[in-house]
Structure 1
Amino acid sequence: MKKLIILLAIPFIISCSSTKTIKFSQKADDIVTTQSLKEFLINNKTPKVVLRVPRSTYSVTDSEKNENIQVENKDYLYGAIENQLLASGFIVRDRQLFNQIIGNDENNIDYKKLKEKSDTDLIIELTKLDTKIIYETNNYYDKKNKLKVENYGTHKEYGASVEFKIVLINSNEFAGVYKFNYTPCVDGCIISKSLKDIQKEMRLYKKKGVTPYEGVEKNIMEDFIKNATFQLVTEMRK
């Protein structure tokens, strides 16, 4: 009976493993740069900047630890932004020290005094970082690259976005806002797998288990953030 079930199941598995590819169109970025910022950067080739980031309020529960769910730590992304700013010729100030300067004045500090105390020209504020934007479609491309509609259900992938706000400290001027988007599967993602790959994954699962990852994977996210920061500098200097 076991052999009969396996023989009957093989055609079903093979039919379900035909090549399918999904694609999403790149979401447009939102860019606003003031004339004041453009002129400032023309006259200041190596500006002194500080990155301000949202305070982390995420705490890990015991159940999440027991379920071995990977909790996102964004410090590596903040470091990637600062490294890219350095590579672009900016002088990057210590953000913790900058926050202490503001804190010591009870958040009621004159911006000109802040410039003197911190020796900083620009605040680059990371206002939002979302690594769990869901892109969904019921369309797919077959192995002949023909667009088709899924009979049952939809396919989902994680995308991401990052938003920056720029402040000119000397004039306390809101000088720019930038939103960059990571759209998954722009060049296509294969969503069906061969029988061989399925068997390989099953052996790996039995041996090690699988660690869930909710959101855009770390290496992809880091590349996106580096590229977004490079685009940020390029747009600011246009």
Structure 2
Amino acid sequence: MNRRVLPVAAALTASAALLLTACGSGGDDDSSSDKIKGADVGDTEASASPSSSASSGGVKRPEIPLPSTFTMTFEGWTNSDPKLQAVLDDGKEALRADHAAVIEADPDADYVAFYNEGAALESAHTWIKGFVKTDDSLTGKVRVFDSQVRLNSQGLGVLFYCVDENKAYTKNRKTNKVVGTPDNVSPFLQYRTTLEKTSQGVWKTRSVQTERGACGQ
């Protein structure tokens, strides 16, 4: 199963296979495919300027340093149920944290571990290290949309969403070469995640699956 492949397939030809296969989350959770649209597809990752995450439920949350050169817009990221909104909020921060760590070239950033655990944390570390190894960063825009969220019978949060990478690019730190998603590769990914609430009230992402091309516009 694949995880979090921005335009990396084109920019990092030497390591594309690594990023497409070694970044699988492991830790599959059968419950994540129950009652959410698109889950029967086979196995396979607010505008963001530098800012600190809002304290929610009395929890002090780390700053996620996304620069103005890379923005993430979350469309329709709301739910009338406060519990489900909390899952959406922390799921969003987990995605932002992973991308910020790529740009900061810091796999061990505290904000990554704050929002990820277990297999998802291991996967995030692998993905970020792939960029660090090739000295690549991210630039452009990412659109996140079509969120689907629920709590399963085990009390886990199940969050699916789509990511549009049409305007997202990798940028080499030394050469400044910018590369986008190849024409023959879909820029749309569906993320399928499970989250577990900690005793402090944070919904940490514990598993991630992605499938490229599973989402439309």
TM-score between both structures, scaled by the size of structure 2: 0.33
Larger radius of gyration: 1
Q: Which has the higher contact order (CA 8 A, sep 6+)?
A: 1
Q: Which has the higher helix share?
A: 1
